[in-house]
């Protein structure tokens, strides 16, 4: 009887070790490796496609994931600023959206995220999908692409910029 219990315990331990060993051990040498892994899972949208959605009157949850000092000098009209480092903490909070005078997004809403050049937007879109959002896209080229394509179609909050602040996020 004792022998059978020992074998059961040993078998469960061995199975547990195998499961842990076969689990995904995602370590990356650099951010490019992470972006390469995430990219196939996320849908991009171009500035032209996004602009067309605006022109068609589509309802879009537009989230700018840059820091406030990047957002305030210029952003796409209708965007809500949720910095990349806070997205997981705020995107599902009703209080956050109420403070923005908006309804919280539904998991089925079209959500478009963007940053300065696209990388933080790509990573954020991946996170939102993991939170159950079904229709998430990131803006290819980010705000820079929008600014180049539609230089007169952006808003600014210059009076809210507290300091020049260094660029953050690396992209």
Which domains, ranges and CATH numbers included, belong to the chain?
A: 26-160 (3.40.250.10)
Asked if the model's pLDDT at residue 161 lies above 70, the reply is no
Q: What is the mean pLDDT of residues 69-92?
A: 94
Cα separation values, 74 from 46, 87, 154, Å: 18, 20, 6
pTM above 0.85, yes or no: no
Cβ atoms 62, 112 nearer than 8 A: yes
Q: Could you give the residue numbers annotated as active site?
A: 115
Residue 29 has pLDDT above 80, yes or no: yes
Quote the pLDDT of residue 158: 63
- pLDDT of 17 reads 44
What's residue 152's pLDDT? Answer: 87
Lowest mean pLDDT among 10-19, 73-82, 95-104, 140-149: 10-19
Rg of the chain over Cα atoms, rounded to whole angstroms, equals 21
- How many of the other CB atoms lie within 10 Å of CB of 171? 19
Q: What is the pLDDT of residue 108?
A: 97
- Compute, in degrees rounded to 10, the torsion defined by CA atoms 120, 121, 126, 128: 110
């Amino acid at each position: 009887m004792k022998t059978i219990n020992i074998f059961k315990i040993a078998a469960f331990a061995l199975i547990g070790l195998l499961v842990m060993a076969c689990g995904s051990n995602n370590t990356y040498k650099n951010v490019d490796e992470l972006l390469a892994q995430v990219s196939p899972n996320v849908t991009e949208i171009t500035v032209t496609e996004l602009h067309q959605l605006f022109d068609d009157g589509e309802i879009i949850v537009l989230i700018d994931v840059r820091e406030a000092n990047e957002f305030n000098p210029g952003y796409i009209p209708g965007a809500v600023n949720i910095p990349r480092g806070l997205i997981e903490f705020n995107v599902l909070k009703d209080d956050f959206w109420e403070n923005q005078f908006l309804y919280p997004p539904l998991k089925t809403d079209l959500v478009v995220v963007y940053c300065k050049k696209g990388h933080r937007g790509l990573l954020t879109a991946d996170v939102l999908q993991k939170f159950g959002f079904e229709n998430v896209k990131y803006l290819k080229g980010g705000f820079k692409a929008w600014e180049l394509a539609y230089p007169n179609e952006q808003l600014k909050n210059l009076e809210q910029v507290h300091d020049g602040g260094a660029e953050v996020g690396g992209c």
